Amino acid sequence: DKDFDLFADLARERGQTVSRDTVDLRILVPAFMISEIRRGFEIGFLIVLPFLVIDLIVATITMAMGMMMLPPTVVSLPFKILFFVLIDGWNLLVGSLVRSFT
């Protein structure tokens, strides 16, 4: 709704008439694209954040134990996969994508 209002205001500045009953595709398509890009960034951020926390914790623990030659990603990858499976990541991801269309 906010994205539609933005493009409707831009169309009004160019002298076009805009109403909610008849919407021009030059307003509707960019508004939809912007809203989907925003939703994609939100989902991406929410997916990356827990994995980043797992990386930081594993890196801190391996450095504290003196294992500097062991890459933290080797240790954290199984934890990331286990975390994704335990929280049923695919169901959450697909569910949030489908809910974004309604």
Integer CA distances (angstroms), 30 to 6, 33, 37, 87, in order: 10, 5, 10, 34
Residue whose structure tokens are 């994704």: 84
> Is a pLDDT exceeding 90 seen at residue 61?
yes
Q: Please report the DSSP string for 48-75 in residue order.
A: HHHHHHHHHHHHHHHHHTT-TTS-HHHH
Total-model pTM: 0.68
- Percentage of residues in the chain having pLDDT higher than 90: 47
- The pLDDT value recorded for residue 9 is 86
Domain count, the chain: 1
Q: Is the dihedral of CA 39, 1, 21, 8 positive or negative?
A: negative
Domain interval for residue 28: 2-99
> Is a pLDDT exceeding 80 seen at residue 17?
no
